[in-house]
Structure 1
Amino acid sequence: MDQDLQHPVVGCAGDLRSSLKSVVSVEPVFMSVADKRAALVELAAARSQLDGLLARVLAASDDLGAVEGSRDATAWLARETRVTRRESRRDLALGRALEAHPEVGRQLADGTLRSEQARAIVDAVDALPSRVDDAVRAEAESRLLAYAREHDAKGLRQIGKRILDVVAPEVGESAEADALEAEERRAEESVSFSMSDDGEGRCHGRFTVPSHVGAILRRILLALANPARHTEADLRDEAGVWKPSRRRMGEAFVEYVERYPTDASPQTAGVNATVVVTMTLEQLLGEHAAVLLDDGSRMSAAQARRLSCEAGIIPVVLGGDGQLLDLGRSRRLFSKAQRIALGLRDGGCTTRGCETTAAGCQAHHDDPWSNGGATDLVNGRLLCPRHHRLAHDPRYAKTIHADNQVTFVMRT
C-alpha cells in the first residue's frame, strides 16, 4: 500500500512495532533505577492506550465479520493472532462499552486509565438499576473516574457496587439489597463440585461455591498453613526449598479432610461418612503390604496405620478382636461396628437382582428382634429401603437362598 494512502491507525501500529524492535537488544538490567521507574510507568500507560485503540477498532469491525461470514470480527482475530476467543470477545465488549462511555474511552486513550479500570467503571455504571436516571449515571461515572486515580480495578469494582450510596443515597440502599440478593441467588444456583481419581494415587477436582463459603474455607486453610504451627523442616520440600503457598494450602486442605471429626460428619444408612480398610493381621504388622479399601481402591498398610489413628478411616483387621461385633440381645439396633461389618460382608442389598450399594441400605433382622431375634451378624443382612419394606410386609413371602441372597414373592 502507498505510504501516503495508508490509514493513520495502520501506520501507527507499524511505527509502534518498529519502535519496539529498536529496543529488543537493549538489556533492562543495566538501566538506572530512575530510568526503570520512568519506563515502567510509561510502558503501562502505552499499553493502556494500545488496549483502548484495539478495542475501538474491533468494535468498528462488524463489516470485517460480515466478510468473514460471522457476526463480528472476534473469531477472525482469534484465528489470525492466536489469542483466545474469550480474550478477543472481552476486547470487543470493552470497545462497544466505550462507545456509550466516551469519557472513559478518552482517558483510556490518553493513558490515564488502565484497561481493567475502564472495564470496572463501565460495568459498574451499566449495572445500575434501570430506575436510575441519566444524570445520576453520569455522576456515578465521574466519581468512579476520580476514584481511579487512587484505586486499581479490584478496588473500583468494590466501590462500584456501592456508588449509589455516594451519588444517590435515597436509592442506594435498596439497590444494593436487590443486587446482593441477585448475586447470592446466582451463587446458589451455580454451586457445583466434581472430583476424579487419575489412577496414579492422586485425586483432582473443581468446585464453585458462594463467596462466603470460599472465605470460610480459605480462613480455615490459612490457619492450618500458618508457619507458626510448623517446624522449619515442615515448611521445606524434599529438596530443602521453601514450599510455595500453593503447596502449603494444599497440605492444609489434606490435613483438614483427614482430621475432620468423624462423629461430626453426616450419617448415611446409620454410619458416619468414613472409609473402611480391610487388612489381615500380617498386613497390619508388616512393613511392606497393600490393603483394600471399601471402594475397591488400595493403599499401603503404612498409610492405613497412620490414617486409622487420626482420620476418618476405620481399620477392619481380619481375625482380630478389636471390636465386639456380636451384641446378642443387649440392644435392638445394629451398632456402627456391626453395620460396617454387614457392608463388608453383603456389599449391598442382599435381594437377588438389586444393585443398591451398602451406603443406600438399611440393616435388617432375619428373625425379628420383637420375636426374640438377636442383634448379631448371623441374624442380620442389608436391604435397600424398598426391599426392607417388603421384608416387613405380610403380603410378601421372603426366601433366603444358599448364597445368602433373598427373593420376595407375593402370597397367593
Structure 2
Amino acid sequence: MTKHQDPTRSGHPIESFLCSALDDLEGLADVPAWSMDEATTDRVVLLAARVAAGVAEVEARAIGQAVSLDRPGIAGCRGVTQWLRQLTNVTGRLAARKAALASSLAAWEPTRAATARGAIHAEQAQAIADKIALLDDDVTDHDKQRAEAFLLGEAADHDADALGRMGHEIYARLDPDCADAREAEALARAEARARKRTRLRMYDDGEGLTHGTFVIPTLYGEMLRKALAALAAPKHVRAEQGAGSYDWETPTPEKLGKALCDYVARFPASKLPKLGGLNATVIAIGDADLLEGKVKVARLDTGHKISHLDYLRLACEAGIIPIWMNATGDVVSMGRRHRFHTARQRLALIARHQHCQRNGCTVPGYLCHVHHPHPWSEGGETSLRNAELLCPFHHGVAHAGHAVEAYPMRT
C-alpha cells in the first residue's frame, strides 16, 4: 500500500489533490508515449513543465508551513535543509534549493502566483526573487513591485540565466539617469560575493582520473573559456596533431578537457611562486632504464604512480636531472659550501622520502622544509646525509627541543 492511500490522511484539499495526482500517475505508468504525434508530444512536454512548476509552488508553501510549525526543530534538525533531506531523501543541494524557493515565493506574491499557475518555472521564480533581493535598500517597495512585474513579463521569452542578467534593464526602468552607476555598484557587490564563494575541489578516483569542481568569478571563468577555446581551435589542433585531426565544429567536453590538460602542462613554471623552495612543478621520478624503453612504473613526487608511457612523454619536454644514489640510497654531498640545501638536494630528498619523515606524518615533500639533524651552527654539513624533510609543524618541533608543547604553532 502506497503512502497516499493511507487512511489516516487529513482530507485537506492540498493533500487530497496530491493523492489523486499520484493515483492518476500510476494509471499512466504503462501508457505508451510512442503513440503521441509530434504536436501532442510538444504539448505534453509543455504541460508537464507547467504541472511541475505548480507542484513546486505547492511544495514550497508546504515547506513554509513546516517552518512556521517548527518541524525541523521538533525533528532535531539544524535547519529546514537537513529536515528536507531526512524527510524526502533528496540531496543537500536539492534540499537547499527547495528551501530557498519556499523563502523566496513567500516574499513575492506575484511571482508565487505565476509559479502556482505554471506560467514560470521554479528556477525562473528563484532568479526573479534573487534579482529583486539585490536591489538597493533605497529602492521603494513600489519600484520593487515594478521590477518584479518587468521580470515576470520577460520570463515568457527568457530562461532563468537570462533573467538573472537583467539588472541593467531593471535600473534603466526605475532610474534611467543613474542606471549605469547603479549597475556598476550592483556588479561590484556581486563580484565581491563571487570572490568569497570561490572554491576548488579535486580528488583522485584511483583509476587514473582526477575529478573536480570549481566555482570562480565570471571574469576568470571567461578568461579560462577563451584560453581553452584557443587551445581547442582548429588551427592550433592541426598544427599540434597534423592535418585531419580536427573533426568537430564545436569543441566537445572531451576536447575542452584535453585543452585544459594542455593549458596546465604548458603554463610556464617560471611564472609560479616557489613551493617548498622549488619551482611548483611536478617531479617524475624513475630509473634510467625507463629512458631506454624498459616497462616499469615511475612515480611523482606527490606519491602518485604513472606508467612508463606518461614518464616518457614528460621526458620529451621536461628537464632531466640525474641523481646518483649508492646502494643505501645516499646522494653525493655538497659539504659545507652552502648554509641552505640547494634545489637539487631538495629534489633528491623528495625523490627519496616523498613526505615528512616524522612517524605518521603524510605532508608531501614539496610542502616540507629541509632540516639539519646535526645543526649547521654546531658544525653540521649541508648534505643529503645531514638532511631530512620535515613539515612546518614538525620542523618547529625540532627547533623547540623536540617538545611539542613548546611549539607556538601547535593547535
Judge same fold: TM > 0.5, yes or no: yes
Query: Aligned to 1:163, what secondary structure does the other structure show?
Result: helix
The change in CA–CA distance for 1:307 and 1:59 in structure 2 (over 3 A counts) is same
Separation in structure 2 between the aligned mates of residue 281 and residue 76 of structure 1, nearest angstrom: 59
State the partner residue of 1:398: 379
The change in CA–CA distance for 1:77 and 1:346 in structure 2 (over 3 A counts) is closer
Please tell me whether residue 17 in structure 1 is matched to residue 22 in structure 2: yes
Structure exhibiting the larger radius of gyration computed from Cα positions? 1
Q: Is the 8 A contact 1:121 1:156 kept in 2?
A: yes
State the partner residue of 2:253: 246
Q: Could you state the TM-score of these two structures normalised by the residue count of structure 1?
A: 0.70
Deviation at 1:159?
A: 0.7
1:231-380 to 2 correspondences below 5 Å: 245-267=252-274, 272-295=279-302, 297-310=304-317, 313-317=318-322, 339-345=342-348
Q: Is the 8 A contact 2:285 2:300 kept in 1?
A: yes
Q: Percent identity?
A: 27
- Larger deviation: 111-120 or 172-181? 172-181
Please tell me whether residue 27 in structure 1 is matched to residue 32 in structure 2: yes
State the partner residue of 2:404: none
The change in CA–CA distance for 1:195 and 1:34 in structure 2 (over 3 A counts) is closer
Aligned residues: 356
1:164-179 to 2 correspondences below 5 Å: 164-179=171-186
Separation in structure 2 between the aligned mates of residue 318 and residue 75 of structure 1, nearest angstrom: 55
Q: Is the 8 A contact 2:301 2:366 kept in 1?
A: no
Deviation at 1:137?
A: 1.0
- Correspondence for 2:69 among 37, 51, 63: 63
Query: Aligned to 1:166, what secondary structure does the other structure show?
Result: helix
Query: Aligned to 1:34, what secondary structure does the other structure show?
Result: helix
Give unpaired runs (5+ residues) of structure 2: 1-5, 325-336, 388-411
Give unpaired runs (5+ residues) of structure 1: 237-242, 320-331, 363-381, 407-412
State the partner residue of 1:155: 162
Separation in structure 2 between the aligned mates of residue 304 and residue 211 of structure 1, nearest angstrom: 36
Counterpart amino acid of residue 148 in structure 2: E
State the partner residue of 1:122: 129
Deviation at 1:404?
A: 4.5
Deviation at 1:84?
A: 3.4
The change in CA–CA distance for 1:254 and 1:11 in structure 2 (over 3 A counts) is same
Query: Aligned to 2:315, what secondary structure does the other structure show?
Result: helix
Q: Is the 8 A contact 2:276 2:367 kept in 1?
A: yes
Deviation at 1:360?
A: 7.9
Separation in structure 2 between the aligned mates of residue 403 and residue 87 of structure 1, nearest angstrom: 54
The change in CA–CA distance for 1:174 and 1:291 in structure 2 (over 3 A counts) is same
Deviation at 1:154?
A: 0.9
State the partner residue of 2:221: 214
Q: Is the 8 A contact 1:281 1:318 kept in 2?
A: no
Q: Is the 8 A contact 1:279 1:316 kept in 2?
A: no
Q: Is the 8 A contact 1:227 1:235 kept in 2?
A: yes
Identify, as 1 or 2, the structure richer in strand.
1
Q: Is the 8 A contact 2:272 2:280 kept in 1?
A: yes
Deviation at 1:157?
A: 0.7
The change in CA–CA distance for 1:307 and 1:63 in structure 2 (over 3 A counts) is same
- Larger deviation: 206-215 or 186-195? 186-195
- Correspondence for 1:47 among 46, 52, 62: 52
Deviation at 1:284?
A: 1.5
Root-mean-square deviation (Å) = 4.4
Q: Could you state the TM-score of these two structures normalised by the residue count of structure 2?
A: 0.70
- Larger deviation: 282-291 or 71-80? 71-80
Deviation at 1:198?
A: 5.1
State the partner residue of 1:104: 111
Q: Is the 8 A contact 2:301 2:365 kept in 1?
A: no
